Amino acid sequence: MNGIGIDIGGTNTKIIVINGYGRLLHAERFHTLGENGYGEFIKRLLDRVKRLKNIWEPVSVGIGAAGDVDPQKGLIRFSPNLEKWHNAAITCPLKKLTGLPCTLENDANMAAWGAYVLELKRKYANVLTITLGTGIGGGLILDGKLYHGATGSAGEIGHNKIQPGGERCHCGAQGCLEAYCGSYAIIRDARKAIKSPEAFVKKYAAPGRERLNTICLTRAADRGHKTALRIWRELGANLGRGLADAILLFNPDCVLLTGGVSKAWRHFIGPLKKVFEAQQIATPFQKVRLRVAKNADLGVFGAALLGMELRKK
């Protein structure tokens, strides 16, 4: 029994085929090219899915998409990175083409599901997953099920206000968690704090990737660079504050960190835990498990897995 997973991102769209055990059978990707419009995109997507359907005989299609997604109607309402798209129908054309059950969710929700199945092996009932990348997404598992809320956007922890009137966020508001802990914010702070960014990049960047990014900052921190270490410590404290509000409200068994920035966890987990230890309402913080994901691509795997999960019902 195989399933197709699709992840529609602002830059790339990924498609995978997995089997019933979650093992990868096939993977491909193409440029989303959202600026060419929805019609052109859906045509290319359907061509690929049609071909894969004939080869792999899948039983379901799961789709994750960046932005404001309507899971019930199967639409992308809008997405900041797909500007010309409004109420773009995703599941309807896929269903017509394949005749299969199709499931659409926000990409952070799909990543949460992927993490729940692949990383946590469904061990905990209530899990908050936070995806740390350019932006910050979140997803909630409640009683072992993906919870998407009234309009499909549950888990939007990235826009929790940790500093009223603070840094400007990509969303347009001020003081969001993402405006402090998204990778764009980390790099913004690093550019200000590091005296000679060029020399810094030369010394610490990964070979062939000479850019000031979070990988470069992690490598510098690994080698004891004081400013880099301070930037990660501040990130830990800010992330801790955002998570603390969510833990008070949601009281999860487990918080799972995923996304590229989570790879620097050893440099920020200490200050993050200190925020937890300082909480006055102690029980939810004493009991919560903090985990860092090992797998990448949890979004597209989660899409494939959730598609297969819901088909069973």
| Count of residues of this chain found to bind a second copy when the rule CB under 8 A is applied | 47
Stretch that binds a second copy, among 160-168, 181-189, 191-199, 203-211 (CB under 8 A): 160-168
Sheet of 289-292: strand order equals 145-147, 136-142, 127-132, 254-258, 289-292
- In the complex, the smallest distance separating the C-beta of residue 274 from a second copy, rounded to whole angstroms, is 14
Helix, strand, coil shares of the chain, percent, nearest 5, are 45, 25, 30
Helices H / strands E in the chain, number of each: 11, 13
Q: Between residues 124 and 184, which has the closer beta carbon with respect to a second copy?
A: 124
- The angle formed by the CA atoms of residues 156, 41 and 78, to the nearest 5 degrees, is 30
Q: Considering only residues 87-116, where is the footprint of a second copy by CB under 8 A?
A: none
User: If we measure between CA atoms, which residue out of 56, 62, 111, 99 comes closest to residue 304?
Assistant: 62
Cα–Cα distance measured from residue 186 to residue 56, given in angstroms and rounded to the nearest whole number: 42
**Residues in 45-84 at the binding interface with a second copy, rule: CB under 8 A:** 68, 77
> Dihedral of the CA atoms 171, 172, 173, 178 (nearest 10)?
40
224 binds a second copy (CB under 8 A): no
Alpha helices in the chain (DSSP H): 38-56, 91-98, 107-114, 178-181, 183-193, 197-204, 214-222, 226-250, 265-277, 283-287, 298-311
Q: Which of 279, 292, 297, 310 binds a second copy (CB under 8 A)?
A: 279
Min CB(279)–a second copy separation in Å? 7
The region of 8-16, 97-105, 146-154, 194-202 touching a second copy under the rule CB under 8 A is: 146-154
**172 forms part of the interface with a second copy (CB under 8 A):** yes
Cβ atoms 135, 182 nearer than 8 A: yes
- The residue (of 4 and 244) whose beta carbon lies closer to a second copy is 244
Name 29's Cβ contacts closer than 8 Å, sequence gap at least 6: 12, 13, 14, 15
Is residue 310 close enough to count as binding a second copy by CB under 8 A?
no
Among 29, 48, 95, 161, binds a second copy (CB under 8 A): 161
Given candidates 1, 173, 193, 199, which one binds a second copy under the rule CB under 8 A? 173
Among 34, 138, 182, 240, binds a second copy (CB under 8 A): 138
**Which of 1, 55, 125, 206 touches a second copy (CB under 8 A)?**
125
Cβ atoms 49, 8 nearer than 8 A: no
CA distance 92 to 70: 12
Name, in order, each residue with C-beta under 8 angstroms of 288's C-beta and a sequence gap of 6 or more: 247, 252, 253, 254, 255, 276
Question: Using CB under 8 A, which of the segments 30-38, 171-179, 211-219, 294-302 binds a second copy?
Answer: 171-179
Stretch binding a second copy (CB under 8 A), from 19-27, 170-178, 211-219, 297-305:
170-178
Instruction: Provide, rounded to whole angstroms, the least separation between the CB of residue 256 and a second copy.
Output: 14
Among 6, 110, 135, 159, binds a second copy (CB under 8 A): 159
**Contact residues: a second copy, CB under 8 A:** 68, 77, 124-126, 138, 140, 142-143, 147-157, 159-164, 169, 171-173, 241, 244-246, 248-253, 279-281, 283-284, 287-288
